[in-house]
Amino acid sequence: MKTKLQVSTAEYRKLSDEELIHRFAFRQDKLAASYLFDRYGHLIFGICLKYFKDTESAKELTQQIFIKLLDDLPRFKIENFKAWLAQVTRNQCLMALRKKNAEIATDFLQFADVENERDVHHKIEEEYLFQYLDQALATLNTEQRSCIELFYFQKKTYAEISAIMHFTIKEVKSFLQNGKRNLKIKMEALAHKAKR
């Protein structure tokens, strides 16, 4: 006879996201995690594909993100799983792109002469560079941040950014120029503070 805790395959499909999360987080129910992946794996993959344009990279990152989610689910109170998952996926994609394009971080750190710049690169670990870039990006307005991320991290052209963001090409160039200048100022301040 079936107990209250046992659920048939058909009934699993009817469970809400919250119930599946609860079953996995508090009962270590791996079948619940499998149904969450069946339900949202395509969403994670679709977002990854938008950032990487490469099926294999998108598949690999989808697996990595879902493994990370399994670690995170017991630690967070999630009210809207789909929205939370989409945001986590976008964040992970951006982090992966930033690591792939490490030279971008150093690009924004050209605020000192060559000798001092070498010292900065030796003293500040790579992880801090990414941290500075994240903090600096967060201070930009939406237009500048979006253009910076599309141009540098996603390698979009001015025309592509114009089409995506509905800005004129002149506006895109302006947002990039002002955004890069503001990033440089902010990262210079963060690096100066770290050296104290």
The CATH number covering residue 56 comes to: 1.10.1740.10
CA angle 87, 89, 90 (to 5 degrees): 65
Tell me: do 126 and 148 sit in the same domain.
yes
Tell me: do 95 and 43 sit in the same domain.
yes
Q: Divide the 196 residues of the chain into consecutive groups of 10 and give the mean pLDDT of each group.
A: 54 85 84 88 90 85 87 78 86 78 53 44 46 76 88 84 90 92 82 66
45-68 pLDDT, tens digit per residue, is 998 888 887 888 889 999 988 888
Please provide the DSSP assignment of 105-154 as one string: HHHTT--S-HHHHHHHHHHS-HHHHHHHHHHHHHHS-HHHHHHHIIIIIS
Which SS3 state, helix, strand or coil, does residue 15 take?
Answer: coil
Tokens 């690009």 map to which residue?
107
Spatial distance between the Cα atoms of 191 and 123, rounded to a whole number of angstroms? 10
Give, to the nearest 10 degrees, the angle between helix 81-100 and helix 55-72. Answer: 120
Whole-number Cα distances in Å, 93 to 53, 61, 100, 118, 171:
12, 8, 10, 29, 26
Note whether 80 and 157 are within 8 A (CB).
Answer: no
Tell me: do 94 and 126 sit in the same domain.
no
* Number of domains observed in the structure of the chain: 2
Please provide the DSSP assignment of 68-85 as one string: HHHHHGGG---S-HHHHH
Q: Indicate the residue type of 111.
A: F
pTM: 0.49
Please indicate, yes or no, if residue 3 is contained in any of the structural domains. Answer: no
Tell me: do 107 and 189 sit in the same domain.
yes
Residue 116 has what pLDDT? 46
Note whether 32 and 12 are within 8 A (CB).
Answer: yes
Residues 177-186 as b/e (b if ≥16 CB within 10 A, e otherwise) read ebbbebbbeb
Residue numbers of the domain that contains 60:
9-100
Residue 45 has what pLDDT? 92
Residue 44 has what pLDDT? 92
Please indicate, yes or no, if residue 2 is contained in any of the structural domains. Answer: no
